[in-house]
Structure formats: C-alpha cells, structure tokens
C-alpha cells in the first residue's frame, strides 16, 4: 500500500484534501469518458436534436472502412519510425555528451530547449520551411534531384511529418538517456574500462544493457507521443493530406467528429483509442518490466 506507517488517525480532514482532485476527475474525466462510450453506440444528428441507439453499428462501420484500417496501419508505422529514430538520435547524442568531460551542461542546455516548443508551433514552422514558394528545404532537395512535393506526394509528406516529429521528440529522450548514463555508477564504468579496451564493445556489452530499462520506458513515452501529442503538428503541417496518407487515429477522431459532425462514429474511434492505450499500458506492466532486469 502506498501510505506511510506513521499516519494521522481517522478524521474528516483527509477527505477535504483529496476531494478537489476526485471531483475534477469525476467531472472532467469519468463523465466524458463514459459519455464517449455511450455516444459510440448512438447515431446522433449534428445539432443534438435527435439520437438513436444503434448497437455496434459504429464499430462495424469503422472496421469495415478501408480508410480507417489504412489510418490504423499508418499510425502504427509512423509511431514506430518516429520512436526508433528519435530514440536512436537521442542515444547517440547522450552517449557523446556523457563521454566528454567539460561542457556537458552546456550541451544539455543546447539539446533540450526544443522540448518547450508546442507541437503545433513546430508544425507551422515546418510548414514554412518546407513550403515550395518560400521554404528552403524543397530547393535543397531539388538540387539533389529529389522532386520534393509534400503537397501531392504521400511519401514526401510522410517523410516530412516524421522528420519534424523526431526533431520535436529528441530532447526528451536525450534527457532520459543522459540521466540514465550518469546514474551508471563511476565504479561500474571504471571496471568496464579495465575489462574492455574497445569503446563500442564496452558500450554494447555493459552500458547498453544498463540503459535498457530507460529505453523500454522511453518506448512507451514515444509511442504515446506519436499517437496523441502529434495532433497539433499534423493539423498545422499536412492536415492528414495528401490522400489521407498522413492521417493518424487521433487526427481522424477530430476530422470525423468535428469537420464531419458525426459524433457516433467519432466516439467509437475514441473508444478504440482508449482500448489501445489500455493495451499499451498492460504490455508495459506485464511484459516489458518483467523482461528488463533492473
């Protein structure tokens, strides 16, 4: 149990302290979550004037729609690529930052500030940098013979969204990797230095396994990021285009629910997302934490 051994005895005071939190959770978390569940079984007109129970129809509609399934596939692909790249880049930077003696804190500063930029602001910024009229990237890529057209070419658009998403996520991973590396005690490192002469062998046989818990924990953080937090980035950068090729599941909830005004269908998508998050959490608890030795 999470409580301390020495505690105040029973009185109304503890309730006073915890009630605000519980009230907010009840009103702004459970009520909406249950309502999403309820709406997912309904067919409602946009203005909320009429509503009818339709059972699992919205779910059947979803999973028989090839659009939804391809959005699903894209989201999985996109989040894996973003995760792999942003973890990879951050790991390299963290290892290098850890290796140098002087100026580590300066590098930490210079490599983490991007964390504070809103995904939506990053998306707008990227929109201009990748813009074919004023941006610098298309010109640069054209000079290599890459006819870069994110407005019409789905590969180019996907590459662009992934690059910007990685840019935004590297700092978080860097902070955790560096913290992880710093916490590997000096004695372990010194012992390792004596045992293996080769830097890369030392990294793969000793440092990397010790970083594994951090990496697995970051895996979940990054997948969550790619699923949910990239909404603003996608809305400003591509709006899920071209041809729906950069539409993530969360973006589709927004499109169908807001632009489309189809609340039932959109709520069913929300519920599917909730189940996905639950699954992710379950995996995190049951499998990953067990496999990794702390």
HEC sequence for 109-165? HHHHHHHHCCHHHHHHHHHHHCCCCCCCHHHHHHCCCCCCCCCCCHHHHHHHHHHHH
Is residue 77 a contact residue for another protein (CB under 8 A)? no
How far is residue 246's CA from residue 251's CA, in Å, rounded to a whole number?
A: 9
Cβ at position 217, least distance to another protein in Å: 8
**Residue reference for tokens 């996520």:** 169
Comparing CB distances to another protein, the nearer of 162 and 172 is 172
Is residue 286 a contact residue for another protein (CB under 8 A)? no
Peptide bond just before 242 cis, omega within 30 deg: yes
| Residues from 118 through 157 that contact another protein (CB under 8 A) | 118-121, 124-129, 132-136, 139, 151-154
Is residue 28 a contact residue for another protein (CB under 8 A)? yes
How far is residue 111's CA from residue 174's CA, in Å, rounded to a whole number?
A: 8
Q: Binding residue for another protein (CB under 8 A) from 75, 215, 256, 268? A: 256
| Residues from 35 through 74 that contact another protein (CB under 8 A) | 35-36, 39, 43-50, 52, 61, 67
Is residue 190 a contact residue for another protein (CB under 8 A)? no
Give how many residues touch another protein by CB under 8 A: 122
Q: Binding residue for another protein (CB under 8 A) from 79, 222, 257, 268? A: 257
Q: Binding residue for another protein (CB under 8 A) from 79, 165, 207, 266? A: 266
**Residue reference for tokens 């203005």:** 47
Comparing CB distances to another protein, the nearer of 93 and 211 is 93
Q: What is the DSSP letter of 245?
A: T
Q: What is the DSSP letter of 56?
A: T
Q: Binding residue for another protein (CB under 8 A) from 69, 188, 260, 286? A: 260
Is residue 22 a contact residue for another protein (CB under 8 A)? yes
CB 250 within 8 A of CB 258: no
Is residue 241 a contact residue for another protein (CB under 8 A)? yes
Is residue 210 a contact residue for another protein (CB under 8 A)? no
Q: What is the DSSP letter of 2?
A: -
Is residue 116 a contact residue for another protein (CB under 8 A)? yes
CB 248 within 8 A of CB 119: no
Comparing CB distances to another protein, the nearer of 80 and 153 is 153
Q: Binding residue for another protein (CB under 8 A) from 59, 80, 112, 292? A: 112
Residue 53's SS3 state is strand
Is residue 294 a contact residue for another protein (CB under 8 A)? no
CB 266 within 8 A of CB 65: no
Is residue 284 a contact residue for another protein (CB under 8 A)? no
**Residue reference for tokens 């309904």:** 42
Q: Binding residue for another protein (CB under 8 A) from 59, 72, 80, 114? A: 114
CB 87 within 8 A of CB 94: no
Closest CA to 115 of 163, 157, 69, 172: 172
Considering only 23-31, 74-82, 188-196, 201-209, which stretch makes contact with another protein by CB under 8 A?
23-31
Q: Binding residue for another protein (CB under 8 A) from 69, 73, 84, 117? A: 117
Is residue 92 a contact residue for another protein (CB under 8 A)? yes
């Amino acid at each position: 149990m999470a409580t301390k051994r020495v505690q105040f005895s029973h009185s109304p005071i503890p309730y006073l302290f915890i009630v605000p939190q519980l009230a907010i959770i009840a009103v702004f978390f459970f009520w909406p979550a249950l309502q999403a569940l309820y709406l997912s079984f309904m067919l409602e007109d946009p203005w909320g004037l009429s509503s009818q129970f339709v059972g699992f129809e919205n779910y059947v509609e979803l999973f028989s729609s090839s659009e939804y399934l391809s959005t699903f596939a894209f989201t999985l692909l996109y989040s894996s690529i973003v995760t792999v790249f942003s973890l990879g880049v951050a790991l390299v930077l963290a290892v290098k930052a850890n290796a140098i003696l002087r100026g580590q804190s300066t590098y930490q500063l210079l490599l983490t500030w991007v964390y504070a930029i809103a995904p939506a602001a990053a998306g707008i910024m990227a929109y201009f940098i990748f813009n074919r009229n004023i941006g610098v990237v298309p010109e640069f890529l054209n000079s290599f013979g890459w006819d870069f057209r994110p407005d019409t070419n789905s590969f180019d658009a996907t590459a662009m969204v992934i690059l910007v998403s990685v840019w935004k996520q590297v700092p978080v991973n860097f902070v955790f990797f560096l913290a992880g590396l710093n916490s590997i005690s000096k004695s372990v490192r010194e012992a390792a230095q004596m045992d293996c002469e080769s830097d890369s062998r030392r990294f793969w046989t000793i440092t990397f396994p010790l970083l594994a818990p951090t990496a697995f924990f970051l895996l979940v953080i990054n997948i969550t990021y790619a699923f949910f937090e990239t909404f603003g980035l996608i809305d400003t950068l591509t709006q899920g285009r071209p041809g729906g090729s950069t539409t993530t599941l969360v973006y589709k909830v927004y499109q169908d629910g807001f632009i489309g005004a189809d609340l039932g269908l959109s709520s069913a998508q929300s519920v599917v997302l909730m189940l996905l998050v639950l699954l992710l959490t379950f995996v995190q608890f049951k499998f990953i934490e067990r496999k990794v030795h702390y």
